[in-house]
């Protein structure tokens, strides 16, 4: 079984210096202690993005999915979601190499899932409009009581 890849958070405290938060230091030390002395490690540092918000999720499941499910004749929103994942987030199956399946959207951050021209939801909305003439209202019109954060 593949080991999970740990992630740790910190911030730039001053030019050229990373500050790792105290609980993160403890967790990082635990992980480091699982390796033998001399083991080479790969460290990846990237800008942190917040996971998608409840409001973004609500817009997707309460507005985008029902409109498209109705148009395409899906009785189950999950089926529409699976079709969209296959079209807009395809990945190769680990069980059946060579077979393309819909990749997960649950690990997408706010930018990948919702913000910007190349986000998952934006590509779906643009495709539904351009290819099928389906209007999906923007979040402020669709969910007037909630502001969908980017």
Domain boundaries, the chain: 1-48, 54-142
Task: With residue 129 as reference, give the H or E element that holds it.
Answer: helix 120-132
pLDDT at 146 over 80: no
What average pLDDT does this structure show over 129-144?
84
Contacts 24+ apart (CB under 8 A), 85-90: 87/127, 88/120, 88/123, 88/124, 88/127, 89/120
Confidence (pLDDT) at 79: 96
83 to 25, 30, 47, 99, 120: CA distances (angstroms): 41, 41, 31, 15, 13
What average pLDDT does this structure show over 114-143?
88
Where do we find the tokens 């409840």?
54
Q: Dump pLDDT digits (tens) for 33-89.
A: 988 999 998 888 777 767 788 889 999 999 999 999 999 999 999 999 999 999 999
pTM (predicted TM-score) = 0.65
- Higher-pLDDT residue of 121, 45: 121
């Amino acid at each position: 079984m593949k080991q999970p890849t740990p992630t740790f958070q910190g911030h730039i405290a001053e030019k050229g210096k990373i500050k790792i938060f105290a609980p993160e230091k403890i967790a990082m030390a635990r992980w480091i202690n699982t390796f033998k002395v001399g083991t080479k490690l790969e460290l990846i540092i990237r800008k942190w993005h917040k996971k998608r918000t409840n409001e973004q999720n609500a817009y997707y499941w309460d507005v985008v999915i029902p409109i498209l499910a109705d148009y395409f004749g899906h009785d189950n929103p999950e089926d529409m979601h699976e079709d969209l994942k296959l079209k807009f987030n395809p990945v190769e199956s680990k069980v059946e190499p060579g077979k393309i399946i819909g990749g997960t959207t649950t690990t997408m951050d706010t930018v990948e899932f919702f913000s910007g021209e190349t986000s998952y939801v934006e590509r779906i909305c643009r495709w539904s409009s351009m290819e099928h003439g389906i209007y999906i209202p923007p979040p402020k019109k669709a969910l007037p009581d909630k502001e969908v954060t980017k």
